[in-house]
Amino acid sequence: MQTVHVTILVLYLLLMVGIGAWFSRSRVVSTADDYVFAGRNLPRPVMIGTLLATWVGSGTIIGGASFAYTYGPLASIFFLAGTPVGIVVLYYLAKRIRRHSTFTVPELLERRYGLSVRIIAALITLLAYTGITAYQFTGGGYIISVITPLSPEAGAIVVAILVTFLAFGGGLKSVAWSDFVSALVIVVSLVAALPLILGWEIGGMSEFWSGMPQAHRSLSGGLTPIQLLGYFLPLFLLILADQNMYQRLGASRDEAEARRSTAGFFFSSFLVTVPVALLGSAAIILMPDITPDTAILSLASEGYLPTVLGGLLLAGALAFIITTGSSFQLSGAGNIVYDVAQRMLGVQMDDRKRLWVHRLSVLGIGLVAYVLGRFFPTVLELQLYSYTVYGVAIAPPVLAIFLWRRASTAGVLTSMVLGVVVTITWEQLGQPGGVNSVLVSLPVALVALVLVSLAVPGAGPRSLDDDPTSEATGAALKEH
């Protein structure tokens, strides 16, 4: 245990708590719109930072590094490429996402497909987002156990409390600003660590390349093309329909700002994913016998980096995980408020009551997520499971809103239900043949969407742009 690391970690966590407390003041967050959309006045650097930090959590810092440690830097391209490729798609949709912004993605789906789709989508989103929150707790527990004498289980409790505090108090505004600070720290730390690890510790790129196991130097890392596709698709599908992305683009000042922020998100993502792939791969040379999940964490904690830089990297990684967890917790709680309580159950709430129900829902998701995290042994396993359930079920109908007018309610419902059922069934069978469930469930969902939509068309082909009442939040707020 490094005293300097512990000191940096404590100071950083105090900073996060301070940001949360500052934006929890009643005059900053007084309405549900403030809580979900941060008043739609976030500066562009903060918008870019919150997009980046929301997306890059333990799934990248721990799961991505674990993949690079196990399969090498070239194979990591396929695993991590889902992020930039998905961002490119979002860039071209950003203006329309902002124009039709809603409190939740299921609400957006209802406008096109009806209430039944919204209900199913809300339940799927809650299932997946609780799982994603759970592996942030698990990943954060790993980091705390590396820095302090606490066990990973005890560390997960600490992280769960901090994640819940940020989401509970200031909503998106406190999460976005803590995201921005975390993004700065982690990007600087990762970029600064690269020359020190690859150049100073290993001796240069030629030694780095020759020092890796033979399989790590291949394009596939020893995986088959089908297996590589199975790792690429979950990330790609999730980002295309991620409710956090849609809410943040909805929180931008206008449509042009939404697109500019997405462009900034695209370029900044490489400042995280590339160092993670290279550092995770370097760890196999320097520490060939560690647990893959701790690849980057061990580089920072075992003396391979200057003490202060290592402490900042560990603190930044933990902060990324905390803010990502807060985002998914906050977003999932929105599904409980707007989709379940108000729309499904018909509970009438004024703005003040809605705000408190949202906060209580944050607490409930935090508790369930912590319990769920105890049942999955690795971050990567829980990450892929949660990504696949959400991506396969939600991404096709969401993209059809913008890209295919003939998608019908019957087609979407069939696609969503089959996507979830096939994913869970394939996972419970132990992934026969080593095939990731997304490679089975995604084709089933897409074929069902197309065939059933053609066989059972809706009232008529249409898109959101055909609906003059769908001016996003103004109409949404009137409805709520």
pLDDT of residue 58: 62
pLDDT of residue 380: 44
Dihedral (CA of 398, 402, 404, 410) sign = positive
pLDDT of residue 476: 38
Task: Output the six-digit token pair for 71.
Answer: 């399969």
pLDDT in tens, 215-270: 899 988 888 888 888 888 888 888 888 888 888 888 788 888 889 999 999 999 99
**Would the pLDDT of 459 be above 80?**
no
How high does pLDDT run on average in the chain? 83
pLDDT in tens, 336-365: 988 998 888 888 888 778 878 888 999 999
Helix (H, G, I), strand (E, B) or coil at 455: helix
pLDDT of residue 5: 82
pLDDT of residue 171: 66
**Would the pLDDT of 45 be above 80?**
yes
Mean pLDDT comparison of 165-179, 231-245, 436-450, highest-scoring range: 436-450
| Orientation of helix 379-403 relative to helix 409-428, angle to 10° | 170
For 452, other C-beta atoms within 10 Å of its C-beta total 20
pLDDT of residue 55: 80
pLDDT of residue 263: 94
pLDDT in tens, 254-312: 888 889 999 999 999 999 999 999 999 999 999 998 888 788 888 888 888 888 888 88
The conformation of residue 436, written as its DSSP 8-state character, comes to -
pLDDT of residue 346: 86
pLDDT of residue 39: 67
pLDDT in tens, 123-163: 888 888 888 788 788 878 877 887 888 888 888 888 888 88
**Would the pLDDT of 466 be above 80?**
no
Question: Distance between CA atoms of 454 and 436, rounded to whole angstroms?
Answer: 29
Q: Which domains does the chain have, with CATH numbers?
A: 3-384 (1.20.1730.10)
pLDDT in tens, 364-406: 999 888 887 776 555 445 555 667 788 899 989 998 988 888 8
**Would the pLDDT of 474 be above 50?**
no
- Phi/psi for 397 (5° steps) reads -65, -30
**Sequence-separated contacts (24+) of 220-227 with Cβ below 8 Å:** 220/71, 220/74, 220/75, 221/70, 221/71, 221/72, 221/74, 221/75, 221/76, 222/71, 222/75, 223/71, 223/75, 226/435, 226/439, 227/434, 227/435, 227/436
Confidence band of 33 (pLDDT split at 50, 70, 90): low
**Would the pLDDT of 204 be above 60?**
yes
Question: Distance between CA atoms of 148 and 145, rounded to whole angstroms?
Answer: 5
Question: Distance between CA atoms of 425 and 1, rounded to whole angstroms?
Answer: 43
What pTM was estimated for this model as a whole?
0.78
